[in-house]
Structure 1
Amino acid sequence: MALRLLLDSADPDAWDQWLPLKLFHGVTTNPTLLRRAGQPCSIDNLKELTQRALAHGVKELHLQAWGTDLLTCGRVLADLAPERIWVKLPITRAGLEAAQLLQQDGYRITFTACYEPHQVLSAAALGVDYIAPYLGRISDLGRDGHGEILSMQRALTALGSTTRLLVASLRHVSDLSRLASEGVDTFTISAALAQDLIEVEATEAAALQFELDAAGA
């Protein structure tokens, strides 16, 4: 599988800044990111945001369902752009129940809030497209976050599963290279981490020196 990066943001200004670079396959959002961006968590607002994202040419937009009726919410979200939207659901019993019904109708699913290696087995059993483990938050619990992510990847690979890990809650660019070197290929990262990904002090200094030399300075 090829490397796949998604921008973890509900801020349209961040989309305007980063999506034109074509580094990102798509965008992931959730109610927490909407709140942080000052965006209402409502269907009407998400409809507007969907159009803005699609205008940037994103291949995937992951929108998280909420409320007591995840099934109905998920259907409404997916129908905003049926070919581009993945419905995000927490990997809870309610999320599993909604997922299998949504799949029967042809909707595509991303499980989120994964904290345990065995949770990927449920995702693989249902054959969903993605499951998003929270690397940083797993590490915050005093556990080996990198090791557990790699255990999840090995399980999916051994099973021949088409479910992809969508690694979230990354804190450092070194997390990306460390996991990618072990075969993990799909990540969702914040705009701040995207900045760290492309800005390297030594590279910036070298580029500046090239310009100075070209000008004869």
Structure 2
Amino acid sequence: MKIFLDTANIDDIRKYNDMGLLDGITTNPSLLAKEGGDPHAAMEEITRIIKGDVSLEVVSTDYDGMMEEGKKLREYGEHVVVKCPMTGDGLKACKSFSEQGIPVNVTLVFSANQALLAAKAGAKYVSPFIGRLDDIGHTGMDLIREIKQVFSNYDFKTEILVASVRHPQHVVDAAKIGADVVTLPAAVLAKMLGHSLTDKGLKAFLADWNKLQSELSNKA
């Protein structure tokens, strides 16, 4: 399963990319606004650092606006994936971009019906938001299972990109289902890295090693 970082924070992107963990990045207008500064400079830097797919989102809601923005976003690099909303105009733009060889990530997907339509429109990625479904009393991971089953029945090339990830268990559950990609905040990735028994074990190893070095020093 590919791991994308859902952020526009350059420090976090560099940190986890240097560990070899990142296959790509997803951003949106909210994440760019959160970081402040010049969003154009941020997008340029992200595409310079990351060699995998980088989803950059349009802010227009009409077809013509999406097409104009999407083409400008592609100027940031060949790995840019244009992120379009799951709307009628968004799917129309998705179809047009796909026919031109420009990959699209259809975002804000909350049903298997929407995922199916996005796949038929030619999306490279479909992004179901599982955490937001959990927030309103649904089980978001059930949607991933449904989409996986639907896509498996047909020859869709569209990848399932699990979004709105709230905790490490979401990642494990998505991987067990067979989702193609998970995009997650830096805070969730940090939790995946750590474990109290790892810390305890490392502390014990170092203590034993230091004790041995001390004993050898005393014998010398």
What is the CA distance between 1:127 and its match in structure 2?
2.4
Which one is further off, 69-78 or 14-23?
Answer: 14-23
Q: Deviations over 1:11-67 (max 9, x none)?
A: 112212222111010111000111122244xxxx32x22432244243111100112
Given candidates 144, 147, 161, the residue that maps to 2:142 is: 147
Match of 1:59 in 2: 52
Aligned ranges for residues 49-198 of structure 1 at < 5 Å? 49-67=42-60, 68=62, 69-81=65-77, 83-198=78-193
Q: Following the alignment from structure 2 to structure 1, what is the Cα–Cα distance between the partners of residues 169 and 197? A: 16
What is the CA distance between 1:204 and its match in structure 2?
1.5
Q: Residue 130 of structure 1 contacts residue 165 of structure 1 at CA under 8 Å; is this kept in 2?
A: yes
* Superposed CA RMSD: 1.5
Note closer, same or farther for the CA distance 1:55–1:75 as it changes in structure 2 (3 Å cut). Answer: closer
Aligned: 1:17 with 2:25: no
Q: Following the alignment from structure 2 to structure 1, what is the Cα–Cα distance between the partners of residues 11 and 106? A: 26
Q: Percent identity?
A: 26
Aligned: 1:205 with 2:203: no
Structure 2 residue ranges without an equivalent (≥5): 213-220
Note closer, same or farther for the CA distance 1:119–1:39 as it changes in structure 2 (3 Å cut). Answer: farther
Residue identity matched to 1:203:
T
Q: Following the alignment from structure 2 to structure 1, what is the Cα–Cα distance between the partners of residues 67 and 159? A: 22
Q: Residue 92 of structure 2 contacts residue 121 of structure 2 at CA under 8 Å; is this kept in 1?
A: no
What is the DSSP-based 3-state SS (H/G/I as helix, E as strand, rest coil) of the residue aligned with 1:148? helix
Match of 2:215 in 1: none
TM-score (norm 1): 0.91
Q: Which has the higher helix share?
A: 2
Residue identity matched to 1:61:
V
Q: Following the alignment from structure 1 to structure 2, what is the Cα–Cα distance between the partners of residues 202 and 6? A: 26
Q: Residue 56 of structure 2 contacts residue 83 of structure 2 at CA under 8 Å; is this kept in 1?
A: yes
| Count of aligned positions | 209
Structure 1 residue ranges without an equivalent (≥5): none
TM-score (norm 2): 0.89
